[in-house]
Structure 1
Amino acid sequence: MPEPISQTEYWNGDVGARWVGMQTELDRVFAPLTAALLDGAALRPGERVLDIGCGCGETALLAAERLGPEGAVTGVDVSRPMLERARERPTKGAPITWVEADAQVHAFAPGHDLALSRFGVMFFDESRAAFANIRRGLRPGGRLAILCWRALPENDWVSVPRDAVLTVVPPPAPPVPGSPGPFRFADRDGLAALLAQTGFSKIAVTPVDRLLEIGRDAEAATRFAVTVGPIAGLLRELDDADLRDRAVAAVRAAMPSRNPVRLGSACWLATAINPG
């Protein structure tokens, strides 16, 4: 069995390249969730904002528009290819600084008004250290707003294609509890407790449910499902091309017949305050 790779290696390898290639599609699919995050973050003109796990830059760019020219955004990610894509994109409003760094240990300048993240906080090796470090970058009274996935069975956009693949290939080993992964913070109470343990107060964890348009038709939806997200990892590990083709065909057959293809998503929006 190969040695597990670090998250930095993971997001700088094939996965990071796939996400860059699918940047436009990912931003379109996740747009309803991105809007929910930015609305929940309650950005104010002129604020200084950290975007943790900024990826290809969508949340940072949209935040910059809301902040206006007097604000400032710092987008932080470990993935060089995704940051390169972010730097290529046109900006409006606040200036954006793109930083290749690990938010678990990076020495953030203090005094930020807000730290936000769209699906970037579930992949830390040490979550407690990471959130404590992020809090040190906030001013007293500064805010945290993060979006993370609820449990896999609540997310049809993942579970429908995954269940289809598992009719063809054996299921993977279950993840180690607390290990990096998309559904790491599915437990609401556990997430709230973690934020409290790392010094945050006034913690609220509220559900966000949205339909995601994952493709204009079954073919496009299948391409999205097998290229990014948890199911893509299952297929990448298949050495048998025929088996992979059968798995992809099973995904295509499982997609709803209506066009465009929409499937449900379920997230937590967690907000908190740095008491200082």
Structure 2
Amino acid sequence: MAAADLTQAEYWNGEAGRRWASHQATFDGVFAPLTERLFAGADLHPGETVLDIGCGAGATTLRAAEAVGPSGRVTAVDVSAPLLAATAERVAARPAGGGAIALVEADAQTHAFARGAFDRVISRFGIMFFDESVAAFTNLHAALRPGGRLAILCWRTLAENAWIAHPLDLVRSLVPEPAPTPPDAPGPFRFAEPERLSGILAVAGFRDIAFTPVDEVLVLGRSDSGEARAAAEAAAAFSLDLGPASRLVRDQPPEIRDQAFARVQADFEARARDGAVRLAAACWLVTAVR
């Protein structure tokens, strides 16, 4: 079954979820600047209750638990059992002093959260994949207490995200052109244009909806020795094994995968500076109030 034929739960409980879970440290490092921007916008306080949507391997969950402290509580939700297992391992190994953490394997669109149970809903790139966005955000709205706050990150356009677009452009001529994604289908750029998500949030009952552009430079690969080639190898591995371009090359014959890696590595080696390969990322920080 092709990836395009899988439901989100099937996709994230299969090879993709296991791969992301095993490389959680790499993802945490690459996305660290964006995580910082999310938490600056979320403005969490000690004692608060937080709902983390699409928590993945737990980086945002652990950060939220630290922010709310021992008097607070974080509920982390994801459809992926492999990613939640990785989160559970990290929760068990964390230092004492953070808030209580509950892990829930569920679809946040339909899960029966207690009404008004949360002060904050946060998500780092976990809200673009619902089957029915209005139903999902209506459910999250009900889970917030009156006056509770939503803070989420979602990607802006592909053209603004060189960390995705550039590797895709490099390998596109080697692989079949993927079928276009319908405008409102689940996918990373579903809410690149703010009007779409703004309307959904308003229908779901949110107010004071705001979109703040977030522009950061991501380090896709780094070499401790400062060598451009080693940094380029790490960055190419991230882009073609873990990043969005991986979907284009993963099922190709070995010779095509080798050509793609060589092409991306050579390009990255030429652009490496100070032992690192850096490319731009562009998101929306979306905040709203119940």
Residue deviations 1:1-23 (CA, integer Å, cap 9, x gap): 85711000000011101101110
State the distance in 1 between where 2:174 and 2:264 align.
Answer: 10
Q: Does 1:237 pair with 2:238?
A: no
Contact 1:225 1:232 (8 Å CA) reproduced: yes
1:249 and 2:262 aligned? yes
The Cα shift of 1:83 comes to 0.2
Q: Distance in 2 between matches of 1:96 and 1:82?
A: 15
Matches within 5 A, 1:147-158: 147-158=153-164
Aligned twin of 1:18: 19
The one-letter amino acid paired with 2:51 is L
1:94 to 99, 109, 113: 99
Question: Do the aligned residues in 1 keep the contact of 2:175 with 2:249 (CA within 8 Å)?
Answer: no
Q: What CA distance in whole angstroms lies between the structure 1 residues aligned with 2:243 and 2:203? A: 30
Deviation, structure 1 residue 257: 3.0
TM-score, L = length of structure 2: 0.91
Work out whether residues 48 and 119 of structure 2, in 8 Å CA contact, stay in contact via their aligned partners in 1: yes
Give me the whole-angstrom Cα distance separating, in 1, the residues matched to 2:128 and 2:121.
15
Unaligned residue ranges in structure 1 (runs of 5+): none
> Offset of 1:167 from its aligned partner?
2.7
What is the deviation of 1:161?
Answer: 0.7
> Where does residue 216 of structure 2 map in the other structure?
210
Partner of 2:228: none
TM-score norm. by structure 1 comes to 0.96
RMSD across aligned C-alpha pairs, in angstroms?
1.2
- Counterparts of 2:189 and 2:265, CA distance in 1: 24
- Whether 2:160 is the aligned partner of 1:145: answer no
How many residues end up aligned between the 2 structures?
273
Q: How does 1:2-151 map to 2 (within 5 A)?
A: 4-89=5-90, 90-91=93-94, 92-110=97-115, 111-151=117-157
User: What is the percentage of aligned positions where both structures have the same residue?
Assistant: 55
C-alpha distance after superposition, 1:58-84 (max 9, x if no partner): 101001111110000000000000000
Cα deviations by residue, 1:233-253 (Å, 9 ceiling, x for unpaired): 111232x22112111211112
The equivalent residue for 2:235 is: 221
For the residues of structure 1 that align with 2:150 and 2:251, how far apart are their CA atoms? 36
Q: Could you tell me how far 1:171 is from its partner in structure 2?
A: 2.1
Contact 1:160/1:254 (<8 A) preserved: no
Q: Secondary structure at the residue paired with 2:237?
A: helix
Question: What amino acid maps onto 1:242 in structure 2?
Answer: E
- After superposition, what is the alpha-carbon deviation per residue over 1:69-104, rounded to whole angstroms, capped at 9, x for unaligned? 000000000000000000001334101000101101
The residue number in structure 2 matching 1:193 is 199
Say yes or no: does 1:164 pair with 2:164.
no
Offset from partner CA, 1:180-208 (integer Å, 9 cap, x none): 11111101111111111111000001100
- Residue 254 of structure 1 deviates from its aligned partner by 2.2
Structure 2: stretches of 5+ with no match in the other structure: 223-230
Q: Is the CA contact 2:241–2:250 (under 8 Å) kept in the aligned structure 1?
A: no
Moved more, 250-259 or 59-68: 250-259
Are 1:149 and 1:266, in contact at CA under 8 Å, matched by a contact in 2? Answer: yes
> Which residue of 1 is the match for residue 227 of structure 2?
none
Deviation at 1:229, TM superposition (A): 2.6
Structure 1 letter corresponding to 2:14: G
Q: What is the rounded CA distance, in whole Å, between the counterparts of 1:20 and 1:229 in structure 2?
A: 13
Q: Secondary structure at the match of 2:245?
A: helix
Q: Deviations over 1:32-66 (max 9, x none)?
A: 10010011001011000000000111101001111
Extract structure 1 runs of 4+ deviating beyond 6 A. Answer: none
Counterpart Cα distance in 2 of 1:196 and 1:235: 39
